[in-house]
Amino acid sequence: MPKSHINEASVKKLSELARIRLNDEEVRSLLPDIQKIVDYVGLLDEVDTSDLSPYAHMPEQSIHTLRDDVPETAISQKELLENAPDHIGSMIRVPQVLTNTPSS
Amino acid sequence: MHTQTARSLHNAFLKNELSAVAITTHFLKRIEKIDGEVGAYLTVFNERALKKAEQLDKKRQEGKTLGKLAAVPIALKDNIHVKGETTTCASKFLTNYKAPFDATVTRLLEQEDAILLGKTNLDEFAMGSSNENSALQKTCNPWHLDCVPGGSSGGSSAAVASGLCAISFGSDTGGSIRQPAALCGIVGLKPTYGRVSRYGLVAFGSSLDQIGPMAHSVEDIALVMEAIAKHDPKDATSLTRHTEEYLGSLALSLEGKKIGVPYDFLSNLGSEAKGNFETALENLKELGATLVPIDLNLLNYAVATYYIIATAEASTNLARFDGIRYGIRSKEAKTLQEVYEFSKHDGYGQEVKKRILLGTYVLASGYQDAYYRKATQVRVKIIDAYEKAFEACDIIATPTSPLPCFPMGAIQDPLQMYQQDTYTIGANLARLPAISVPSGFNPEGKPFGLQLTGARNEDALVVSCANAYEKKAPLTPNLPPRYAD
């Protein structure tokens, strides 16, 4: 297991990957607990798993059954849109995604 | 009425001794009177519950067939959907979210004529062992108001313990039904993974999550399991095997049963919990069971394994809360990226952020093999250790929790908090049925729980063993004196 050193920069990086904006103070307040937990879970190094296939996950299939592919009535668009923070007509509205960049 | 079991309320209703409206009104009035100090409920369905009760009284009068749970007042953890009602997960992210569909459990309960009283508090997104991570409300332990009710299904355990419903539902990812049940002096069952449909439960750790019931008596757990332990095509992990008879197996004797005890694994138990556990073992012996030492030392790695797998699964499951389709959206966000980042920043509490970051870390490229894969392999070893143990015994006995209820704010260290689940996590990793049944009090009057774990699919055996134990050593008193009348 690679030795992991978690610092403020790595917490910041994780927050970017997880799409959670954190200010510097929030990063500092989360850091000690995250360090502690990462160190703790390193405990698993003590368990010898060399006898297991690297693909050993679960002893049996987790998915027991699949449904037949039959159309059924789903939740209406109207009901789903009621939970959307912002919508126009039948569409969810979000800020502009693409910016106008001059073509070269 | 709140001192009666669900089954006796149901029977009184069937025999025309009590009306559904009288039962419902009694519980709604109690909630109004008491829940201000307990804080168990986030939402109370006053109108909905009374309407259902009126329908039931009419149905009875007309001689129509009544459901298995007719007139039983039930509360649901607020991460289980009830169509048209809010599902907040005790998070600021979802305070205005209205469920567009019923969870399968909700549908089955309504089909069996239960009366849904409301939704109960929890640690935000079911992440915690004390209910202190709820972003919306504080819940007190009905036995000691300055103490936590346990978690994450702490609102559900407090509601039953203070007589604010007859049965409640929780979800259990690492002990979230059993630990609060133990801390509140009630019974809580985590069924075999897949035994109860998870459709309509907000996902936390999908390979670990399981919905289950909490009640004052084991008999009530059996009653409700008969209604909800059903295959569901809407949950691909739902078991197809036949539902066992739960009420029918209650009379089973412990005579000749082998109870496995992982003595080595339990060697760190504190003296109070140890004394309580030893008394419980004596009771099991007096019931005719034989105690067998078993080796579950691998469970010393259960908490570490769990905090890799559960956070990894949580980080993917909670990605859906993006501020686009539901939940809050930050007003400050100017770009799409900022909608995600600011909404998650504003919506999630500290513990949820911490676990998502940890899950992101253990799944990150370069670390995934070292953490996530390693944890899934240790999980396989833990499953093997249980299977070996069950070759030598029928049921495994441990304490449910290392500590009885503790004062709010007393545990600040995250690792110490996570250790509260040290005896419960194994059943989630190995997908086994496990029940917590009250096993007496410490000198301060704080309840303890005995945990009985069975092999996969042995839910009915677990319930019947707990029933034998409960009949032999019932919790006395079984309601906190403050809420007894």
Q: Give yes or no for a contact between B54 and B61, defined as CB atoms under 8 angstroms apart.
A: no
Q: Are B370 and A2 inside 8 Å of each other by CB?
A: yes
Question: Is pLDDT above 90 for A62?
Answer: no
> Tell me, what's the ipTM?
0.92
Tally DSSP H helices, then E strands, for chain B.
15, 11
Distance from CA of A103 to the nearest CA of B (A): 22
**Average pLDDT value for chain B:** 96
| Mutation for B interface: A30, A47, A50, most B CBs within 10 A | A47
List the structure tokens of B181.
């049940």
Closest CA to B281 of B393, B172, B446: B393
Residue of A nearest to B93 (CA): A85
- Neighboring chain B residues of A63 at a CB cutoff of 8 Å: 236-237
Q: Where residue A65 falls among pLDDT bands split at 50, 70, 90?
A: low
Q: Are B237 and A62 inside 8 Å of each other by CB?
A: yes
Distance from CA of A7 to the nearest CA of B (A): 12
Residue of A nearest to B416 (CA): A37
Q: Are A82 and B364 inside 8 Å of each other by CB?
A: no
Question: Is pLDDT above 90 for A97?
Answer: no
Q: What is the pLDDT of residues B65-86, one digit of tens each?
A: 999 999 999 999 999 999 999 9
Contacts of B85 (CB under 8 A, 6+ apart): B43, B45, B48, B98, B99, B119
Q: Are B377 and A56 inside 8 Å of each other by CB?
A: yes
Given this model, what pLDDT does residue A67 score? 76
Residue of A nearest to B312 (CA): A18
- Name the β-bridge partners of B395: B259, B454
CB count in 10 Å sphere of residue B470: 22
| Mutation for B interface: A37, A46, A98, most B CBs within 10 A | A37
Segments in chain B below pLDDT 50: none
CA atoms of B348 and B281, how far apart (whole Å): 43
- Neighboring chain A residues of B103 at a CB cutoff of 8 Å: none
Q: Where residue A1 falls among pLDDT bands split at 50, 70, 90?
A: very low
CA atoms of B400 and B418, how far apart (whole Å): 14
* More confident: A102 or A29: A29
The shortest CB-CB distance from A21 to any of B234, B345, B361 is to B345
| Averaged pLDDT, A8-31 | 96
Given this model, what pLDDT does residue B263 score? 98
